[in-house]
Amino acid sequence: MTTKADETGEQTPVVAEGRTVPVAPSASGLPLAALQAVRPRQWPKNLLVFAAPLAGATLGRDNGFGYALLAFIAFTAGSSAVYVTNDILDVERDRKHPTKRLRPIASGRLPIPMAVLLAALCLGVAALATFLVGEPMLGVVIGTYVVVSFLYSMFLKHIPGIELTVVASGFVLRALGGAIATQVPPSGWFLTVCSLGALMVAIGKRYTELCSLGHEAIAHRPVMRWYSLGLLRGSQRAASAIMLAAYLLWALSEHDAWMRGWHVASVVPLALALIRFDRLTGLGEGRPVEDLIARDPMMICCELTWLTMFTVGL
């Protein structure tokens, strides 16, 4: 086995003939490897459980915030189990990827048996948090998310179009789970805007991946053979435009003049955020979509402005 030590003395994987040679795991590095495997950078997307209460201007049931927080924990643990399982199934393909080869399981820093145990532990936490919420339908939603995600890892990710829908559904199920946990019925407009926004992000993710990897993207994600940059670019912009139109129609449907005025005005920062997202994905730098949304200063400014105006309107 070929390894080399970094500046801290920790063993890091070495690439040989386009494939990462896994390193021997170290006991001291296991906790960090386990934390990296559950992808804490992805956890903020689970904040979507608060979307329905925010849109409805109510936390619903008594102690609604606490129940929404439990839903956040349940989705965080459930999604972490999915991430770990996906990395276990894709370990050989990830070892040939320029960046994914550094993931804990692909690099060998987290042995597969321990990764399986970690995924099971995450599922246990998700089940406990769901039970504490006391809403059976939340269990159905989270169970659906986990099962569909596992099916995605096994074969749905190879079906063009369907795999994009599955990725987008994860965002919608989070928002729906929050609505169920707090007993705040989601409106049709709310679900429509969430669905289109999620689809736009999923398409943008594929576009940036295809831009950065080119033809090599097919080796790492076989479904990419069915996509082209033009198709993805057009689809992303179409989803953005329809989402913005749906949001505007929802804002105009408000009966209260104060709410209608602020929410119609909030279309402007939302549109600017969508334009900025389009610009960032078009650069084709290969940056994770999550970074484009949460780390770009101009994007953050647009998002905070929209959120402020939306909240004031409530």
Give domain 29-185's CATH number out of 1.10.357.140, 1.10.3720.10, 1.20.1260.10, 1.10.10.10. Answer: 1.10.357.140
State the residue for tokens 């995600």: 149
Q: Chain-wide mean pLDDT for the chain?
A: 87
CA distance 254 to 231: 35
**pLDDT tens digit sequence for 56-79:** 766 777 888 899 999 999 999 999
pLDDT of residue 6: 47
pLDDT of residue 4: 46
State the residue for tokens 């987290």: 110
Instruction: Find, among 274, 278, 280, the residue nearest to 306 by Cα.
Output: 274
Mean pLDDT to the nearest integer, 197-212: 91
Q: What percent of the chain has pLDDT over 90?
A: 56
Between 51 and 243, residue with greater pLDDT: 243
Instruction: Tell me the domain boundaries of the chain.
Output: 29-185, 187-314
**pLDDT of 107 above 50:** yes
pTM: 0.79
Which of 131-135, 167-171, 190-194, 281-285 has the weakest average pLDDT? 281-285
pLDDT of residue 246: 95
209 contacts 77 by C-beta, under 8 angstroms: no
CA distance 227 to 161: 9
Record the tokens describing residue 20, joined without a space: 């990462």
Mean pLDDT to the nearest integer, 176-187: 90
pLDDT of residue 27: 63
H or E stretch covering 207: helix 188-213
Between 7 and 224, residue with greater pLDDT: 224
Mean pLDDT to the nearest integer, 143-154: 91
Between 174 and 97, residue with greater pLDDT: 174
**pLDDT tens digit sequence for 10-49:** 455 555 555 555 665 666 688 899 999 999 988 888 998 9
**pLDDT tens digit sequence for 246-267:** 999 999 988 889 989 999 999 9
58 contacts 39 by C-beta, under 8 angstroms: no
Of the pLDDT bands very low, low, confident and very high (cuts 50, 70, 90), residue 275 is very high
Question: Rounded to 5 degrees, what are φ and ψ at 21?
Answer: -90, 115
